[in-house]
């Protein structure tokens, strides 16, 4: 879908294609691009098909280049996902400078452009295309930072849930958050190279205020890169820790099952042995044999109970002794 915007009385206003003032600068906003939109971009603004395909390619990295009739900037912007998979991903966003028209192209409904078209940004000046492009870069960096904070908040909530009960769904959600962080790190690094190239090259003309603003955007982008890497390392360490906990719990369960199997082997052996043609002990003693065998079972139960009851106490005593020793060393 393509919408047309012009600045009227200092306000960004949407206008029809037939009502465009040729004397004023024009913003052509192309989002969720269709085949008809591609035809308009090619015929009316001379954008090469290869460049349009690159912008619509989800794997396209950030870059800047100049053609005979226009200048193209491609940057990466974050997008929130509504499906059950990766919660955040990034998309290429194209900015084309074509005469008195600035054209933005994105294959989805990008939140960066949606925020600009909603006229929530103050001091937005369409007469200065360079400042307008920096505004888009700035919005992208700030949106990356906001998404990173949301990812960190969500990961903390999931970690608190896993401390109570380890569930597969929660672990899968952590892995999806980790995928988002990897995508963010790659895209932010690509945007960083783009900003550095814009500062060094003469493809676009910047005044002093634009350069200072672009330097601020670079600082925000660097901060986002560090945050993404830090959160990614923390999340990977958390996932590995919970994997170790799951492995340890499995070992404990297997140990208990092994003990139970060994205990059950004893009566199985006895029954198997005396199930053959072997005379049973106390078989001719009548009720006395029953009393003797019952007494042996009761004594064995008492000994096992005392052993199991004293073992945690001894363990706790050893823990306090070691703790006191450490306190004495300090």
What domains appear along the chain, each with residue ranges and CATH number? 2-246 (3.30.460.20)
Q: Which two tokens stand for residue 271?
A: 């029954």
The confidence score (pLDDT) of residue 77 equals: 94
- Give start and end residues of each alpha helix (H) in the chain: 35-45, 49-56, 111-117, 129-164, 168-200, 208-274, 287-329
Q: CB–CB of 25/5 below 8 Å?
A: no
- pLDDT exceeds cutoff 60 at 324: no
Q: Could you report the per-residue pLDDT of 84-117, keeping only the tens digit for each?
A: 678 899 999 999 999 889 999 998 888 888 888 8
Q: How many CB atoms lie within 10 A of CB 139?
A: 20
Per-residue tokens: 3: 């919408």
Alpha helix locations (H) across 275-286? none
Write the DSSP string, 144-169. Answer: HHHHHHHHHHHHHHHHHHHHH---HH
308 pLDDT tier (thresholds 50, 70, 90):
low
Angle subtended at Cα 74 by Cα 144 and Cα 188, rounded to the nearest 5 degrees: 30
CB contact at 8 A, 159 and 236: no
Mean pLDDT of 176-185: 91
- φ, ψ for residue 224 (rounded to 5)? -65, -40
Write the pLDDT tens digit of every residue in 24-74: 889 999 998 999 999 999 998 889 999 999 999 988 999 998 888 889 999
Q: Is the pLDDT of residue 277 over 50?
A: yes
Sheet of 11-15, strand order: 11-15, 2-8, 26-31, 101-106, 88-98, 71-80, 63-66
């Amino acid at each position: 879908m393509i919408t047309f915007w012009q600045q009227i009385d200092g306000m960004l206003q949407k206008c029809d294609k037939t009502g465009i003032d040729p004397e004023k600068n024009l913003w052509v906003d192309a989002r969720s691009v269709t085949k008809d939109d591609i035809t308009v971009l090619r015929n009316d603004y001379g954008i090469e098909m290869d460049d349009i395909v690159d912008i619509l390619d989800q794997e396209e990295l950030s870059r800047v280049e100049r053609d005979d009739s226009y200048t193209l900037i491609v940057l990466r912007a974050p997008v929130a996902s509504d499906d059950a998979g990766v919660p955040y991903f990034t998309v290429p966003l194209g900015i084309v400078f074509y005469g008195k028209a600035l054209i933005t192209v994105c294959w989805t409904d990008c939140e960066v452009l949606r925020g600009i078209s909603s006229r929530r940004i103050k001091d937005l000046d369409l007469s200065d295309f360079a400042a307008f492009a920096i505004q888009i870069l700035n919005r992208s960096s700030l949106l990356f930072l906001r998404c990173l904070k949301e990812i960190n908040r969500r990961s903390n909530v999931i970690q608190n849930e896993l401390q109570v009960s380890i569930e597969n769904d929660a672990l899968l959600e952590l892995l999806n958050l980790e995928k988002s962080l990897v995508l963010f790190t790659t895209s932010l690094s690509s945007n960083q190279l783009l900003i550095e190239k814009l500062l060094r090259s003469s493809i676009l003309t910047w005044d002093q205020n634009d350069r200072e603003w672009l330097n601020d955007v670079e600082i925000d982008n660097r901060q986002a890169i560090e945050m993404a890497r830090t959160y990614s390392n923390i999340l990977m360490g958390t996932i590995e820790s919970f994997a170790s906990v799951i492995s340890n719990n499995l070992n404990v369960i297997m140990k208990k099952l092994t003990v139970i199997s060994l205990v059950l082997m004893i009566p199985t052996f006895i029954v198997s042995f005396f199930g053959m043609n072997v005379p049973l002990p106390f078989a001719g003693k009548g009720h006395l044999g029953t009393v003797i065998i019952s007494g042996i079972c009761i004594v064995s139960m008492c000994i096992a109970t005392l052993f199991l009851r004293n073992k945690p106490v001894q363990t706790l005593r050893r823990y306090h002794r070691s703790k006191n020793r450490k306190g004495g060393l300090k």
